[in-house]
Amino acid sequence: MPILFLSDSGLHGDLLYSLVSEQLHFSWEKSEFGRQKHCLKNYDAIIVDCFALSAKSTPSAEFNFLKNIEHPRVLLINFPLDLPSHITKPLEQRKFQFLCDNRAGQKDLISKLGFAIQNSRVQNDSESRSRFLLTKREQEILAQLTTGEPNSIIASRLHLSEHTVKNHMYNIFRKIGVKNRLQASNWAKLHLQVERI
Residue-by-residue DSSP string for 119-141:
HHHHHHHHHHHHHHHS-HHHHHH
Closest of 72, 15, 12 to residue 44, by C-alpha: 72
Rounded CA separation 149/79 (Å) = 43
The per-residue pLDDT for 190 is: 75
The per-residue pLDDT for 197 is: 39
Asked if the model's pLDDT at residue 155 lies above 90, the reply is yes
Q: Are 76 and 48 in contact (CB under 8 A)?
A: yes
DSSP class per residue in 63-89: HHHHTT---S-EEEEEE-TT--HHHHH
Residue with the larger pLDDT of the pair 167 and 34: 167
* Amino acid (one-letter) located at 187: W
Residue with the larger pLDDT of the pair 156 and 1: 156
The per-residue pLDDT for 196 is: 41
The per-residue pLDDT for range 89-138, each reduced to its tens digit, is 888 888 889 988 888 899 999 999 988 888 766 555 545 455 457 888 98
CB count within 10 Å of CB 143 equals: 18
Q: What percent of the chain has pLDDT over 70?
A: 85
Beta-bridge partners for 116: none
Rounded CA separation 109/150 (Å) = 48
The per-residue pLDDT for 123 is: 54
Q: What percent of the chain has pLDDT over 90?
A: 25
H or E, element range at 188: helix 181-191
For the segment 1-6, the average pLDDT, to the nearest whole number, is 88
The per-residue pLDDT for range 31-64, each reduced to its tens digit, is 887 776 567 777 888 999 988 776 555 567 777 7
The per-residue pLDDT for 195 is: 37
As a whole number of Å, the CA-based R_g of the chain is 20
